[in-house]
Structure 1
Amino acid sequence: MKVALHGLALKPENFPKIELLFKELVKYGFEIFVTDPFDRQLKMNGNKVLSYWLLENPEEIGEMDFLISIGGDGTLLDAVCVVGDKEIPILGLNIGRMGFLATVATDRISEAVKMLAEGNYQIESRSLLSLNCNRKLFNGLNFALNEFTIHKRDTSSMITVHTYIDGKYLNSYWADGLIVATPTGSTGYSLSCGGPLITPEAKSLVITPVSPHNLNVRPIIVSDDSEISFKIEGRTDKFMISLDSRSTSISSEVELSVKKEKFSAKLVKLPHYHFFDTLRQKLNWGYDMRN
C-alpha cells in the first residue's frame, strides 16, 4: 500500500515521533511518499535517516491509499486541499493543540498504523462547501471543509450582508461578518460566535453572524441542499472572504454563493472513536473544579 505524509510545521521535539511513524509504516510494508511542504520540513530538521519518495506531481496523490496529516486541525484542513476531489482517506495525527479533526494522539502511532494495515477502521464522509463566484479565486481551490466567511476589512465599520436561500430573501445581516459552516465546521469559528454544534452526519449548514448589531439576530440551520447567495454593502468597497484558513480581498462587484460540494472529504475513523467523546474531551464537558 502507498501512503502520503503531509505536514506544515515540524518542531525538533516532534522528530522522534516522526521517526517512529516511518518505522511502523516500513514494518507493515507501506510505500512512503511525502508532499513538498513536508519534505521541506524534514530537511529543515536535519533529516539524514528517513527514506521516502517525493510527490512531485499533484496528480500523483490519486495513486495513494491513504494520506496521513501530521500536525493540528489546520494541517488537516490543508490536507483536504491537497487531496481535493481524489477523495483519498485522510488520517489526522495530532501534534497540534485542539485536535477536533486530527484525533490520533502521538502515543497511538503504532496502534494506528497497525489498524490501517489490517483494515481495522471506518471511513467517515464529511461534506464540503463549494464557492461559486464570477471571478477566479483561491487558485481554483474553491471548497472548504469547515466554513466560508465574509468579513469586514481591518478596523472598518460594520458591513451589511444581504442573504438569500435558493433565491429567496432571508435577512440583511448588519455585522462584522457572516459565517456559513458545515457540520464539521460547527466546532470552529461558528461555535466561537455562538453557533450550534452539529453532528458530522447531519445534512445541514449553519449561518452564523459575527458580532451582529441587532442582538435578536441568531444563527439559523438550513438544509445542505440549499444554495446560499450574498450581496455585500459597506462604507468601503473592499471586503474579506475566506475558505477555512485561506483568505482573499474582494470588491462588492463579486457575485458569491455557496452550496454543498459534489465530492466529500474522507476521514479515517479508528475503532473506539466517537464524535461525542471528542466533544467532551476538547470542550471539557462535565469538568468542574469542585469535583
Structure 2
Amino acid sequence: MPSTPSCRFRHAALVGKYQARGIRPILEDVAHLLARAGLDVSLESETALNTGMTEYPALSIKEIGQQCDVAVVLGGDGTMLAIARELAPFDIPLIGINQGRLGFITDIPLKDVGTTLPLMLRGEYEEESRAMLAGAVLRPIRGDGFETIYEGFAINEVLVSRGATASMVELRAEIDGQFVANYRADGLLVSSPTGSTAYAMSAGGPIMHPSVGGWVIVPIASHTLSNRPLVVSDDVTITIEIVAGRDAGMNFDMQSLASLLHGDRVIVRRSDHHVRFLHPKGWNYYATLRRKLRWNEGVS
C-alpha cells in the first residue's frame, strides 16, 4: 500500500515479544493500524515464525535494514534492547510499545497506541540518539600478542563477573593504558547512560542523563569499601583483565561468554553506531524517571 502524504515513513518493521501470551492479536491490531496509516508492513522473521502470522512479509534483520525506515517494537525494554542492538548499524529509528508497565525506552502504553502511534507516524515525535558500547575479549597467545575470541555491542552495559561457584574475582582495570585499580569483587561493569538505570543503579551507580558523553564503571560487591563508581568520558578505552578467580564470565547486555581465563582482557570503547529512539511528542527523560522510580509517591 503506498504511503500517504501525511505519513513520515514508508515501510515499517514490526517486532514483538513473541514469547508473551496473547501477543498475536495485539500484533495484528498494530499491523492493521500501520497499514491504515499508509505504510508497507513487514514482520521481523522470528516474530512471524513464532506467532504464525502470514498476512505480512517476514524479513531478516539485514532485510529490515535494507528495506524499512522505521521499526515498531511491541514488548518491554528487554525486547527493545535486543532488536535495537541488531538494527543500530542500519540507522533505523525505533518506536516502543509497552505491553505492561511503562518502560524506560518502550514508552507508549498499550492503551494509548490507537491515538499516539498515528501522530508519531505523521512526524509528531521527539527523537534522541543514544551511544552504544563496543567490546571485545582478547586472549593471550603463545609467544606474543592476543587473539580476539569475541566481539559484540551493548546498549546497557558490559559486565565481567565471578563464576557461579567462585567467591570473587580479581580484575585489573586500565583507562587508555593507565592503571586505575585492582578490584577484588563479585564483578565490574561498564555502563552507558542508558544502562545507568539498570544493573548499574542497583549496584549503587549514579543515574546519567542519556545525553551525557560518558560511561560509569561500577564495582559489584567490592571487598574494598573505598572502591566507588567512577564516571569517565566515553572517548576512552577501558581494559579489564582477569587476574584471579575461577570461571569468570562476561555479558554484553544479554549476550554471554562464560569461562574467561586468567590473562584474558575485555576491551570496551564507544561504538561507531548509535541507537535512534522516537518518543511521543512532549516526552522527557525526567518524567520517565518519576514514573518508573516512583519519585512522585506521597506528593499530593
Check whether TM > 0.5.
yes
**1:132 — aligned with what?**
136
Residue 230 of structure 1, CA deviation:
1.3
1:233 maps to which of 210, 231, 243: 243
Per the alignment, residue 146 of structure 1 pairs with 156
Residue 200 of structure 2 corresponds to residue 190 of structure 1: yes
| Structure 2: runs of 5+ lacking an equivalent | 1-9, 139-147
**Do residues 156 (structure 1) and 156 (structure 2) align?**
no
Moved more, 86-95 or 247-256: 247-256
Q: 1:158, 1:174 within 8 Å by CA — same for their partners in 2?
A: yes
How many correspondences in the alignment? Answer: 281
Q: 1:39 corresponds to which residue? A: 48
Distance 1:243 1:254 in 2: 16
Instruction: From the superposition, tell whether residues 57 and 148 of structure 1 become closer, same or farther in structure 2 (CA, over 3 Å).
Output: closer
How much does 1:188 deviate?
A: 0.2
Question: Does the alignment pair 1:242 with 2:251?
Answer: yes
Structure 2 vs 1, CA of residues 146 and 33 (structure 1 numbering), >3 Å: closer, same or farther? Answer: same
Q: Aligned letter for 2:46? A: P
Distance in 1 separating the partners of 2:160 and 2:43: 34
Equivalent residue, structure 2, for 1:122:
126
RMSD: 1.8
Post-superposition shift, 1:123?
2.0
Aligned residues of 2:187 and 2:220 also touching (Cα < 8 A) = yes
| Residue 212 (structure 1) shift | 0.6
1:207 aligns with 2:217: yes
Separation (CA, whole Å) in 2 of partners of 1:216 and 1:234: 20
Who is 1:252 aligned against?
A: 262
Q: How does 1:214-229 map to 2 (within 5 A)?
A: 214-229=224-239
2:279 aligned with 1:266: no
Select the residue among 104, 107, 123 that pairs with 2:108: 104
Query: In 2, are the aligned partners of 1:6 and 1:69 still within 8 Å (CA)?
Result: yes
Report how far residue 96 of structure 1 moved: 4.3
1:86 to 90, 106, 110: 90
Q: Contact 2:127–2:276 at 8 Å: present in 1 too? A: yes
1:8 is displaced (CA, Å) by: 3.1
Matched, 1:171 2:149: no
Is there any run of 5+ residues in structure 1 with no aligned partner, and where? none
Paired AA for residue 29 in structure 2? L
Partner deviation per Cα, 1:73-113 (whole Å, 9 max, x = no partner): 11001111330311100111111446111111101212233
Q: Deviations over 1:239-281 (max 9, x none)?
A: 1100111111122343221011111001112202111011000
Distance 1:16 1:56 in 2: 22
Deviates more, 1:246-255 or 1:199-208: 246-255
Change (3 A) 1:280 1:248: same
Residue 294 of structure 2 aligns to which amino acid in structure 1?
A: N
Q: Equivalent pairs: percent with the same residue?
A: 28
Q: Is the 8 A contact 2:126 2:283 kept in 1?
A: no
Counterpart AA for 1:150: V
Match of residue 4 from structure 1: 13
Name the TM-score, length of structure 1 as normaliser: 0.91
Residue 28 of structure 1, aligned match among 27, 33, 37: 37
